[in-house]
């Protein structure tokens, strides 16, 4: 089992039936945080010249765990990687779905801006995302993104999807996510604000 909810939005859980709910005690109600675990060595590769996705280990893109918190003031997400590097272009992606709308955030890290630049994708265009803060910690192997709730319209709940893509420069890419066992990430159930 790849995905494990340690804390769940118990009353709104409607995820895949394959998901294991790890709750040693009666599940708390309306928790605003999710913790996700992911396998090691389970990245996928794809390219500009081939079709589909193939399993291929790539520690720089390999997500090991994640945390999503819907707090009073912001949605904060964090992914832990096997071994982040400053060698290839990496796109850290976070999609936040609210009622009737999805916000698409991308942080790009590459030569010249290893700290990353945050964008929101709006109608296919990448625009800078003031108010959105992030940190790429290459020593701790973590990527953190914080989106103020006011930028999301102060939603009652959010559904979140995290993933990343790494481009090694020859048209070859790697991807991984903590949201599914495959290359395609799935959204969380609704996470209410707290």
**Part in contact with Ca ion (CB under 5 A); list of ranges 59-67, 99-107, 115-123, 157-165:** 59-67
CB of 16 to Ca ion, least distance (A): 17
Q: Which is nearer to Ca ion, 63 or 152 (CB)?
A: 63
Binding to Ca ion by CB under 5 A, coded x per residue (else -) over 155-194, reads ---------------------x------------------
Q: Which residue's C-beta sits nearest to Ca ion?
A: 38
Among 3, 5, 19, 42, binds Ca ion (CB under 5 A): 42
> Does 141 participate in binding Ca ion (rule CB under 5 A)?
no
Binding to Ca ion by CB under 5 A, coded x per residue (else -) over 62-101, reads xx--------------------------------------
Please give the residues from 12 up to 41 whose contact with Ca ion meets the rule CB under 5 A: 38
Q: What are phi and psi of 73, to 5 degrees?
A: -115, -15
Measured between its terminal Cα atoms, the distance across the chain in Å is 29
Q: Which is nearer to Ca ion, 74 or 162 (CB)?
A: 162
Q: Which is nearer to Ca ion, 95 or 176 (CB)?
A: 176
| DSSP codes of every residue in the chain | ---EESS--GGG----TT-EE--SSSPPSS--EEEEE--SS--EEEESSS-S-EE---GGG-EEEEEEEE-SSEEEEEEEES---SSSEEEEEEEEEETTEEEEEEEEEETTEEEEEEEEEETTEEEE-TT-EEEEETTTTEEEEEEEGGGGTS-SEEEEEEEEEEE-SSSEEEEE-SS-SSSS------EE--
Q: Which is nearer to Ca ion, 55 or 131 (CB)?
A: 55
Which residues are near Ca ion by CB under 5 A?
Answer: 38, 42, 62-63, 176
């Amino acid at each position: 089992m790849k995905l494990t909810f340690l804390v769940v939005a118990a009353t709104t859980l409607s995820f895949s039936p394959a998901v294991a709910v790890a709750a040693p005690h009666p599940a708390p109600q309306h928790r605003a945080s999710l913790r996700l675990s992911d396998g090691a060595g389970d990245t996928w590769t794809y390219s500009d010249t081939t079709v589909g996705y193939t399993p291929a280990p790539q520690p720089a893109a390999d997500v090991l765990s994640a945390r999503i918190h819907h707090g009073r003031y912001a949605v904060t997400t964090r992914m832990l990687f096997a071994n982040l590097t400053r060698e290839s272009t990496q796109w850290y992606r976070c999609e936040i779905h609210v009622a009737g709308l999805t916000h698409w955030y991308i942080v790009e890290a590459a030569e010249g801006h290893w700290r990353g630049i945050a964008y929101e994708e709006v109608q296919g265009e990448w625009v800078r995302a003031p108010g959105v803060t992030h940190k790429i910690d290459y020593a701790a192997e973590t990527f953190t993104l914080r989106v103020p709730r006011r930028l999301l319209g102060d939603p009652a709940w959010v559904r979140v999807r995290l993933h990343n893509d790494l481009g090694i420069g020859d048209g070859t890419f790697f991807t991984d996510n903590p949201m599914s066992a495959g290359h395609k990430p799935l959204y969380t159930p609704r996470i209410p604000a707290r």
